[in-house]
Structure 1
């Protein structure tokens, strides 16, 4: 498929050739035709993107960079290495990573300013029907309490039923009215859905999934996709390789 710039060049070349054949006043309809070509090109690209994503091949149209928008941030936003996480709070492998692997990475790299965690919700509701509520509870509770601590609590609770939410309020001294209102807020629900969409658009199908790469002006670039709760040695080797570049 021709890129937009190529289409414009071909169209302009056609105009130049036609003027060489005789004296003509400039046809302003050319501008309109170029604009139409550009709009059609963008529409075709979007259609290709949507079709590719919907048939489960989102990895083929992954962007070259990803912003930190709509994610929870742990660490310095200008850290040289970025670990973007897509997690399901009811996934046992996500819990394994958060409980037994992440603390070592956090101590060695986040606390020293070398790594920033960019965490997205990715509840697999077909497998874990209550995971979406847990993701929403994490976002709402962390407005009043420490994100990392609330996250670990929700991994331990697992069920995300009414009693768990009540326990969160007690454990973190949450303002119950504010917390419950947040849980019902369409804006907050949209944020969870937006994180899920980012993951789906990236072709992510399982949790945990990580994108590990460099930080370039607050965006993740040159990243690789890592699936599953690898051990700390695996992540350390990858992070050190990025730092060495």
Structure 2
């Protein structure tokens, strides 16, 4: 009797184990299928974007407005890089950390190129991008745009996933770090003072077929502009800049 009970119990355990293994394998397969679907959708989106860029190359405007946005370098430099960007974008961070230092050393600091930063927040994708843009404009009001620009990118990991209220507190702490007039900065940020300015940048960007960040326009009104989208290497910029400098 004990032997039969033992065999019966072990049989139940074996069946249960098989069921669990089958369930777990099914879960993994389902998860993999889900991930594969996501990857296919991302690839489709990328291919669509590349096709749009290919079709729009010949339609790149010959003139790109710099508005009155922050400029890095010599205002009289022969060429400009007009950047449409947002501070919460990982690809924008990659440009800041990997490509901009080389551009600054070889072209901006040497007076050959200047960089104009234009806001292009995308709140539907990046929850904190609008408030970050507003904060940078408030810093610009006190003459510290580029310092604030740098601190936002260098600390992106500390605020990009935060709830909006917590991000606002973080942005105010950054102002304190840069020794800005705190009361003036806080009032500026809380009131959304520069929302119209930012929306004007977004409107111009859409007129230029900007649909994602970062997007760059390299050139001047005389030789025209070439566009670059997404994470681009220094050599990609270098090729366009050198060609336009020779024109």
- Of structures 1 and 2, the larger Rg is shown by 2
Name the count of aligned residue pairs.
186
**Equivalent residue, structure 2, for 1:74:** 72
Report the TM-score when normalising by structure 2. 0.69
Aligned to 2:112: 114
Give 1:114 shift.
0.5
Aligned partner of residue 142 in structure 1, secondary structure:
helix
State the partner residue of 2:211: 205
Q: Give 1:184 shift.
A: 4.0
Q: Please report how far the alpha carbon of residue 82 of structure 1 lies from its aligned counterpart in structure 2 after TM superposition.
A: 1.1
Q: CA deviation at 1:71?
A: 1.7
Aligned pair 1:156/2:154, yes or no? yes
Counterpart of 1:172? 178
Which residue of structure 1 lines up, in the alignment, with residue 87 of structure 2? 89
CA distance in 2, matches of 1:236, 1:111: 15
Within the candidate set 191, 201, 207, 2:197 is matched to 191
> What is the root-mean-square deviation in Å for CA atoms of aligned residues?
2.3
Check the 8 A contact 2:176/2:182 in 1, yes or no: no
Partner of 2:236: 234
Aligned partners of 2:88, 2:191: CA distance in 1, in Å? 22
Structure 2: runs of 5+ lacking an equivalent? 1-51, 161-166
Q: Aligned-pair distance for 1:133?
A: 0.4
Distance 1:113 1:185 in 2: 37
Q: Paired residue for 1:131, among 121, 129, 132?
A: 129
- Structure 1 stretches of 5 or more lacking a match? 1-55
Could you list the runs of 4 or more consecutive aligned residues of structure 1 that deviate by over 2 angstroms after TM superposition?
A: 56-64, 142-149, 156-160, 184-187
